[in-house]
């Protein structure tokens, strides 16, 4: 999955990636790559503007921490972010079921 | 090692491309540097030589222009939302000031109990000077136009969901509608102020010109505050054009 299609679902993926535990940008991308079996292919740097936007919207919060002598920004999901995640998750599942139904019916 | 694509060079290019305040840039560059160094370290742990490790991680990250463009797009989206919200708040503030003064405040300032909108009495001889009729029309229609444009911009900005990315086409629509709202709001304010001062002079029992002057000043300040957000949104939209399509 790449390009605009992936970009349209990036918010959902990022919120899901930090649902279990706070993580920094690199770990979030690694998490997405591993959990998708390497199928999510986007320029890694484009994740940061999305993380900043979600933080400005109050769906994520972040703080600096120190690791290996470097400052690192760690993101975690807020209560409002969890609510948004659940709503987007529900939308995605309905959409996915609908597409699946159409595709199966066409074979 | 390819010096032209080293992490330092990449960060320098990104610094030049990024639009925004110093604090914002510092934070972004710090995060990007951490990402690139962490990625290069992982590559080296897999046995990749230094130069190749940096090249790979930089290639995966995306070009500085692409990243700056995505940041600019999101900043512009945030700015457009803030401008639309500011304009609606400005209009709400003027409605409150103009139509709903509390009886206690009205009494204190010598306003009629029913606020400014309802005249305290008819124009002498019930004869509104013809040159003031356009002022009333402009004040009312421009305010309605401002309200309509502001509400449209706000709805348009919010319909994608909280904090969601606004595509560039939508951004232009929101910013244009907000600019229209600002222009109509300012025109309405000028026309309304002209009418109010004339009425204060002509209709006995009207609030004093001082009250109108205070009201006009507050209204002008509200307009300037709304205008600040609109101008900022326009500038951010312009910075997006500089970076080109992404």
- For the complex shown, is ipTM > 0.90? no
- Hey, is the C-beta of A56 within 8 angstroms of any chain B C-beta? yes
The beta-carbon neighbor of A54 closest among B37, B62, B163 is B163
Q: What is the pTM of this model?
A: 0.75
CB B60 to CB A57 under 8 A? no
Does pLDDT of B164 surpass 80?
Answer: no
Size of interface A-B (CB pairs under 8 A): 83
Sheet holding A23-24, edge to edge: A23-24, A70-77, A60-67
Does pLDDT of A93 surpass 80?
Answer: yes
Of A57-71, A76-90, B111-125, least confident by mean pLDDT is B111-125
CB B165 to CB A11 under 8 A? yes
Answer for the pair B239, B72: CB distance below 8 angstroms, yes or no.
yes
| Banded pLDDT at B3 (limits 50, 70, 90) | very low
Does pLDDT of A90 surpass 90?
Answer: yes
Q: Could you give all domains of chain A from N- to C-terminal order, each with its CATH number?
A: 3-105 (1.10.10.10)
Closest CA to B60 of A63, A53, A29, A87: A29
Tokens 């124009």 belong to residue: B123
Cα A82 from chain centre: 12
Does pLDDT of B115 surpass 70?
Answer: no
Q: What are phi and psi of B80, to 5 degrees?
A: -65, -40
d(C-alpha B190, C-alpha A31), whole Å:
57
Higher pLDDT, B111 or B37: B37
Q: Which residue of A has its CA nearest to B40?
A: A26
DSSP-assigned beta bridge partners for residue A73: A64
pLDDT at B127: 72
Ramachandran quadrant class, B79 (left: phi over 0; alpha: psi -120 to 50; beta: rest): alpha
| Banded pLDDT at B4 (limits 50, 70, 90) | very low
CB B67 to CB A45 under 8 A? yes
Which tens digit of pLDDT belongs to each residue from A7-39?
778 899 999 999 989 999 999 999 988 888 888
Distance from CA of B99 to the nearest CA of A (A): 33
H-type helices in B100-208, by residue range?
103-109, 133-158, 168-202
Does pLDDT of B26 surpass 90?
Answer: yes
Mean local confidence (pLDDT), B54-73: 91
d(C-alpha B85, C-alpha A70), whole Å:
38
d(C-alpha B59, C-alpha A5), whole Å:
21
Does pLDDT of B72 surpass 50?
Answer: yes
DSSP letter for each residue of A75-95: EEE-HHHHHHHHHHHHHHHHH
Closest CA to A62 of B49, B31, B178: B31
The beta-carbon neighbor of B32 closest among A45, A50, A58 is A45
Does pLDDT of B175 surpass 70?
Answer: yes
């Amino acid at each position: 999955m790449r390009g605009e299609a992936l970009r349209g679902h990036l918010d959902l993926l990022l919120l899901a990636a930090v649902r279990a535990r706070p993580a920094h940008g690199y770990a979030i991308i690694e998490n997405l790559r591993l959990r998708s079996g390497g199928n999510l292919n986007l320029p890694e740097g484009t994740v940061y503007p999305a993380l900043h936007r979600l933080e400005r919207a109050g769906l994520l919060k972040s703080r600096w921490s120190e690791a290996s002598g470097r400052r690192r920004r760690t993101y975690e999901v807020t209560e409002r972010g969890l609510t948004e995640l659940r709503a987007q998750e529900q939308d995605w599942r309905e959409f996915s079921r609908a597409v699946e139904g159409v595709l199966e019916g066409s074979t | 090692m390819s010096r032209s694509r080293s992490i330092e060079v990449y960060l320098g290019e990104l610094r030049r491309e990024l639009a925004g305040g110093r604090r914002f840039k510092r934070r972004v560059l710090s995060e990007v540097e951490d990402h690139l160094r962490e990625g290069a370290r992982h590559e080296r742990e897999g046995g990749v030589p230094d130069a190749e490790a940096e090249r790979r991680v930089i290639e995966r990250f995306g070009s500085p222009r692409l990243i700056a463009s995505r940041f600019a797009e999101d900043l512009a989206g945030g700015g457009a939302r803030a401008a639309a919200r500011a304009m609606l708040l400005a209009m709400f503030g003027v409605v409150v000031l103009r139509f709903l003064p509390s009886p206690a405040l009205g009494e204190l300032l010598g306003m009629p109990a029913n606020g400014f909108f309802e005249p305290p009495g008819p124009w002498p001889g019930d004869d509104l000077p013809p040159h003031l009729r356009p002022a009333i029309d402009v004040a009312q229609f421009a305010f309605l136009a401002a309200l309509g444009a502001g509400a449209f911009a706000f709805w348009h900005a919010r319909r994608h969901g909280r904090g969601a990315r606004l595509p560039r086409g939508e951004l232009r629509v929101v910013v244009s509608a907000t600019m229209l709202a600002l222009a109509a709001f300012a025109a309405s304010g000028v026309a309304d102020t002209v009418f109010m001062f004339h009425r204060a002079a002509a209709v006995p029992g009207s609030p004093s010109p001082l009250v109108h002057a205070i009201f006009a000043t507050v209204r002008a300040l509200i307009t300037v505050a709304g205008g600040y957000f609109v101008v900022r949104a326009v500038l951010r939209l312009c910075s997006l054009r500089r970076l080109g399509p992404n």
